[in-house]
Structure 1
Amino acid sequence: MYLRVLGSAAGGGFPQWNCNCPNCDGLRRGTVRAQARTQSSIALSANGIDWLLVNASPDILTQIRQTPLLQPARAIRDSGIAAVLLMDAQIDHVTGLLMLRESKAALPLLATPEVIADVSEGFPITRILSHYCGVQLHPLSCNAADIQVPGVDGLELTVVSLSSKPPPYSPFRECPRPGDNIGLIAHAGPGTPRLFYAPGLAEVTPQLHALMAECDIVLVDGTFWTADEMQQLGLSHKSAFDTGHLPQSGAGGMIEHLQRLPQRTRKLLIHINNTNPILNEDSAERALLQKLGIEVACDGMEIVF
């Protein structure tokens, strides 16, 4: 199985276009040792040829240019992207669909009914695309297993319902439903290594922890270091929890949950906000992650499992 990290930042990317926080300002000035990042997305394949795009970020065209495997040039119009799966309906995970409108056939689009409703009504991307390439909808049921992806042979998925929040434009923003946000377990069949992927995660329940513990690779929400990160910088009045994210530090934080996983589990963070000190490779927070064996995903990272 092949995994390619196309983008590893939260919404806005890193540096964010209008932000002068210590990380963004430091990266621009060259005073902070860090890597620029596009908005989060990954691609999965069982054969390295046909790929499932998981979330379509606004940076998708840049990400495709930086990933030759996604442009194999087998025909005058071609793509290695065989299907797209949406984990949620957040702006930074769905806007890239508009950039794929030149597809020569309707895009196979996998998402829960809740996400399909949001991108059909509140942010009507599917209706817009109906005037271009169109989409071929494949509704996903929460907690469904052994899902086959059209056009991506050998890849099997399990959908996991997660606690988080739908996007601010959704009428269900303050009353989330199962299906607004999902995690994925991906593998190549029985007995093969398993990946757990969840770029947006507000709570790790005992049931979810048990599922994560069965996986060989865990790639999860790394948005904020502290719950009040944005508040402390004067950038927002909302906490990490208000926006549907579990911070890494503190009691019950993501680090604590990752440390409880088996030692053999490879642990990585993705969807990292531009304010998070772990982006600074010389920070104490980054050093702590390294000491604990927790990796920080970066654009272009490749994992074979």
Structure 2
Amino acid sequence: MKIRVLGSGAGGGFPQWNCNCHNCHRLRHKQMNGKARTQSSIAVSTDNRNWLLFNTSPDIRQQLEAFPAIQPQEGVRDTGIKAIMLIDSQIDHTTGMLMLREGKPLDVYCTDMVKQDLTTGFPLFTMLKDYCTVNHHPIPCDGSSFTVPGIDDLRFYTHALKSKAPPYSPHRHDPHEGDNVGVIIEQISTGKKLYYSPGLGEIEPHVMQAMQEVDCLMVDGTFWTDDEMVSQHISHKKAREIGHLPQSGPGGMIEVLNQVENTRKILIHINNTNPILDEDSEQRKTLDAAGIEVSYDGLEIDL
């Protein structure tokens, strides 16, 4: 199984277009050892020709141009993208579908709750009817398995996560099962598994079990501290309030991942305010010592 990180940043990417925080300012002025990042998305394949996209960020065109393997060039208009799986209905994970409107109908795998958001509060599916159209394929929330036609030798297991629907959602303050999911991706022929969850606010028992059963996990790396954006005067909301488990502190992601053994551990969906973006920072050294990697655009993983 080959996994390509198309984008590793949180909403807005890094540097964010209108942000002059400590990180964004220093990266723009070449004053820090760090990498620019587009908004988070990954692609998965077993044959390096037929790909399943996980989320479609607003930066999808740039990400695809930087990844020649996903464009096999067999026809005048062609693509290696066979289907899309949406983890949630957040704007930074779905808007890229608008950039894919010139092609064939999009086969989109997502929960019924995500479909509801994308036909009401942010009606992408409805908008795309006049372009490529969207074929919706519902996915389970209970951890049961399914396959995706055209994506050979892979099996998927999706389970619900405790989270909030996007601010535009009609049920923003009334959480439903399926607003956000984690997914185990298994290569059938080898048994190798990846766990992918870019938005993770709470470590429920089934989440910990999934983490302990896989060969590689790629999980929420949005914030270093719970009050990161509050302390930088960017927002009045804390990390946990918006559905992201910070890395540091009691019960944080580092503490959680220290309980997982014999597994490659990678953070994704990293906010522009997070000090781990500075590769010389003390926070980055803490992750290095814990054996936790920080993903970057273009990272490729072979399982």
Per-residue deviation, 1:207: 2.7
Per-residue deviation, 1:191: 5.3
Percent identity, aligned pairs only? 52
In the alignment, structure 2 segments of 5+ residues that lack a partner are none
Moved more, 181-190 or 15-24: 181-190
1:285 pairs, out of 276, 283, 286, with: 283
Alignment of 1:1-305 (within 5 A): 1-103=1-103, 105-189=104-188, 192-262=191-261, 264-305=262-303
- Other structure's SS at 1:230 match: helix
Per-residue deviation, 1:219: 0.4
What CA distance in whole angstroms lies between the structure 2 residues aligned with 1:144 and 1:46?
22
Moved more, 275-284 or 204-213: 204-213
What CA distance in whole angstroms lies between the structure 1 residues aligned with 2:189 and 2:75?
34
Aligned AA (2:112) = P
Per-residue deviation, 1:175: 2.1
- Other structure's SS at 1:89 match: coil
CA contact (8 A) 2:140 2:159 kept: no
Per-residue deviation, 1:171: 2.0
Aligned AA (1:267) = K
Aligned AA (2:300) = E
- Other structure's SS at 1:17 match: coil
CA contact (8 A) 2:16 2:272 kept: yes
Aligned AA (2:97) = L
Aligned AA (1:158) = Y
Aligned AA (2:24) = C
Per-residue deviation, 1:144: 4.2
CA contact (8 A) 1:108 1:150 kept: no
What CA distance in whole angstroms lies between the structure 1 residues aligned with 2:174 and 2:208?
24
What CA distance in whole angstroms lies between the structure 2 residues aligned with 1:142 and 1:276?
30
Per-residue deviation, 1:48: 1.1
Cα deviation per residue 1:165-188 (whole Å; 9 max; x = unaligned)? 111101222221110000010011
Per-residue deviation, 1:146: 2.7
1:248–1:149: structure 2 CA closer, same or farther, 3 Å change rule? same
What CA distance in whole angstroms lies between the structure 2 residues aligned with 1:94 and 1:191?
31
Per-residue deviation, 1:72: 1.0
TM-score (norm 2): 0.98
What CA distance in whole angstroms lies between the structure 1 residues aligned with 2:16 and 2:234?
12
CA contact (8 A) 2:105 2:133 kept: yes
- Other structure's SS at 1:25 match: helix
Aligned AA (1:138) = H
Give the alignment's Cα RMSD to 1 decimal.
0.9
Aligned AA (1:132) = Y
Per-residue deviation, 1:190: 6.4
Per-residue deviation, 1:189: 1.2
> Deviation above 3 Å: which 4+ runs of structure 1?
none
In the alignment, structure 1 segments of 5+ residues that lack a partner are none
Aligned AA (2:81) = I
| Count of residue correspondences | 303
What CA distance in whole angstroms lies between the structure 2 residues aligned with 1:144 and 1:275?
33
Cα deviation per residue 1:75-118 (whole Å; 9 max; x = unaligned)? 11010100001000000000000000001x21100000000000
Cα deviation per residue 1:211-244 (whole Å; 9 max; x = unaligned)? 2101110100000000000000000000001111
